[in-house]
């Protein structure tokens, strides 16, 4: 089911004008006001990435795969793509789904598997160092980030991003690059044991964060699977709180765009980005684009239809949540804002630790 976001406001890049921040009394070209606790983000001119609203749904599309390859400025046959499937527990079929378009174009595909085993750091370094593209799968975001931090892979990914490797992925593979994300990591059907069991029982229903594959959900009774979305801390390579699958409803019966509004009010200091299931945010140094898969529906109104796109959200100085469609292109410094003091203004979700206990990784002993 696809929902159209409320209170649509169309905004073109050409119509942007400088705005006066009531907090800083300084003129800025930012798309939204810049309060005292945030400042405009200065992008790394070598950073490149494409961050999609879905993993299986978007990353399997040649439309998005070609956009990723274009960012490398290489021919597809000269691209080494490193796939990291930790969020989907390194199940082979998800690798096939999310890398097939790249393989068909001629890319060389390799992978790192750390969901169940702990490779030596030197081996992880070698794999990352040879990649032109790093693709992170969809799946359980929190599980993946916990594993990476335990193994030191998080630091390797940050270094790769700093050095111009193209970073990409959808769903969990979108959330992981930002300060944090609106995640279904607390859905028990996305935990390791149920997922491994499902993999053996239902080869025809691949999981992708944002797609309901629940074995317990009754659509007539939303309370049959009453899990909650949680804020998961990302790698912090890009600032902001991101919500993939923005136009989708999952097995708890709660539209993500509705719940993301509630999360934004709880985490009111952060700037939010909602990315539809079949949309992607592309960052190429100082510039950004919002890509929309042709022929698909989304939440952004366009004439008599709605198309996949992205939304910007923030809580204003009066405590009211504001929402606007993201322009189709522009400058990264006008879109993203970084926290002045993250320790004071980025607040952890208290439910994350419970989720870690319920879905633990392998012992590091």
pLDDT tens track for 106-148: 999 999 999 999 999 999 999 999 999 999 999 999 999 999 9
Residue 163 lies in a domain: yes
Residue 343 lies in a domain: yes
**pTM summary value:** 0.88
Q: Could you tell me the CA-to-CA distances from 216 to 1, 212, 226, 359 in Å, in that order?
A: 19, 10, 10, 18
Residue 2 lies in a domain: no
Residue 105 lies in a domain: yes
- Beta strands 272-275 and 310-315 are antiparallel
d(C-alpha 330, C-alpha 298), whole Å: 21
Residue 236 lies in a domain: yes
The pair phi, psi for residue 134, each rounded to 5°, is: -115, 120
| 227: helix, strand or coil | coil
d(C-alpha 223, C-alpha 231), whole Å: 21
d(C-alpha 53, C-alpha 172), whole Å: 9
Average pLDDT over residues 194-216: 55
Residue 362 lies in a domain: no
Question: With pLDDT > 90 as the criterion, what percentage of the chain qualifies?
Answer: 81
Joined tokens for residue 58: 């978007």
Query: In the chain, how many domains are there?
Result: 1
Q: Is the pLDDT of residue 91 over 80?
A: yes
Torsion angle, alpha carbons of 357, 362, 363, 364, to 10:
-120
- Bigger pLDDT: 322 or 217? 322
Average pLDDT over residues 183-205: 80
**CATH code for position 132:** 3.40.50.880
Residue 364 lies in a domain: no
Closest CA to 167 of 245, 257, 234: 234
d(C-alpha 70, C-alpha 68), whole Å: 5
Residue 6 lies in a domain: no
Joined tokens for residue 186: 């607390």
Residue 175 belongs to what domain range? Answer: 13-357
């Amino acid at each position: 089911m696809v929902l159209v976001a409320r209170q649509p406001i169309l905004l073109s890049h050409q119509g942007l004008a400088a705005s006066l921040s009531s907090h800083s009394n300084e003129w800025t070209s930012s798309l939204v006001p810049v309060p005292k606790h945030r400042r405009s983000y200065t992008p790394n001119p070598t950073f490149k990435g494409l961050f999609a609203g879905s993993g299986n749904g978007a990353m399997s599309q040649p439309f998005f795969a070609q956009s990723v390859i274009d960012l490398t400025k290489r021919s597809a046959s000269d691209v080494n793509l490193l796939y990291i499937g930790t969020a989907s527990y390194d199940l082979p079929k998800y690798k096939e789904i999310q890398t097939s378009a790249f393989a068909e174009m001629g890319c060389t595909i390799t992978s790192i598997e750390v969901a169940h085993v702990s490779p030596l750091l030197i081996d992880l370094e070698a794999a990352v160092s040879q990649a032109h593209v790093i693709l992170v799968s969809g799946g359980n975001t929190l599980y993946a980030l916990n594993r990476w931090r335990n193994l030191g892979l998080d630091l390797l990914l940050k270094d790769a991003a700093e050095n111009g490797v193209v970073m990409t992925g959808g769903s969990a593979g979108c959330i992981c690059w930002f300060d944090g994300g609106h995640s279904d990591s607390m859905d028990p059907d996305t935990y390791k044991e149920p997922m491994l069991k499902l993999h053996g029982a239902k080869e025809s229903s691949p999981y992708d964060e944002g797609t309901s594959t629940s074995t317990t959900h009754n659509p007539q009774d939303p309370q049959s699977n009453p899990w909650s979305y949680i804020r998961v801390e990302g790698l912090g390579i890009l600032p902001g709180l991101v919500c993939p699958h923005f136009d989708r409803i999952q097995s708890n019966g709660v539209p993500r765009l509705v719940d993301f509004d509630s999360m934004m009010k709880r985490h009111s200091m952060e700037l939010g980005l909602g990315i539809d299931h079949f949309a992607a945010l592309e960052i190429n140094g100082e510039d950004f684009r919002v890509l929309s898969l042709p022929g698909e529906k989304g939440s952004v109104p366009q004439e008599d239809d709605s198309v996949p796109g992205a939304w910007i959200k923030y809580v204003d100085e009066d405590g009211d949540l504001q929402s606007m469609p993201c322009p189709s292109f522009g400058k990264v410094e006008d879109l993203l804002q970084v926290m002045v003091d993250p320790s004071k203004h980025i607040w952890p979700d208290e439910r994350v630790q419970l989720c870690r206990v319920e879905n633990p990784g392998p012992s590091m002993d």
